[in-house]
């Protein structure tokens, strides 16, 4: 087992990121935990997943960003 002093900078950064992420999740939790998806949303997700499996592509992100007035 390595000590902190033995970690490389990228290893140390990864360690800190994981610790911060874990702490934030502990403090705030998952705001969607316990919520149910509406049947219409479930159906749309199933259709979308099936389309991807068939090799169909969705809307390009650039198009979505443009429609929303976002810079991509």
The tens digit of pLDDT for each residue in 37-55 reads: 999 999 999 998 999 889 8
| Residue that has been written with the tokens 């443009």 in this structure | 66
Q: How far apart are CA 23 and CA 7, in angstroms?
A: 21
Instruction: Say yes or no: 42 and 21 in one domain.
Output: no
- The answer to whether residues 61 and 72 belong to one domain is yes
Do residue 45 and residue 18 come from a single domain?
Answer: no
Q: Nearest-CA neighbor of 19 among 8, 31, 11, 30?
A: 11
Res 52: pLDDT: 86
31/3: higher pLDDT: 3
Q: Is pTM, for the whole model, over 0.75?
A: no
Give the range of the structural domain holding residue 2, as residue numbers without chain letter: 1-33
Answer yes or no: do 66 and 40 share one domain. yes
Q: Are residues 29 and 40 in the same domain?
A: no
16 and 45 share one domain: no
Q: Considering just the CA atoms, what is the radius of gyration of the chain in Å?
A: 20
Judge if 41 and 26 occupy the same domain.
Answer: no
Report the C-alpha gap between 23 and 34 in whole angstroms. Answer: 20
Say what percent of the chain tops pLDDT 90.
64
């Amino acid at each position: 087992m390595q000590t902190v002093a033995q970690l490389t900078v990228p290893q140390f950064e990864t360690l800190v990121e994981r610790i911060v992420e874990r702490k934030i999740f502990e403090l705030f939790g998952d705001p969607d935990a316990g919520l149910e998806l509406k049947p219409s949303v479930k159906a749309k997700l199933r259709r979308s997943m099936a389309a991807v499996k068939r090799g169909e592509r969705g809307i390009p992100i650039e198009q979505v960003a443009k429609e929303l007035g976002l810079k991509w």
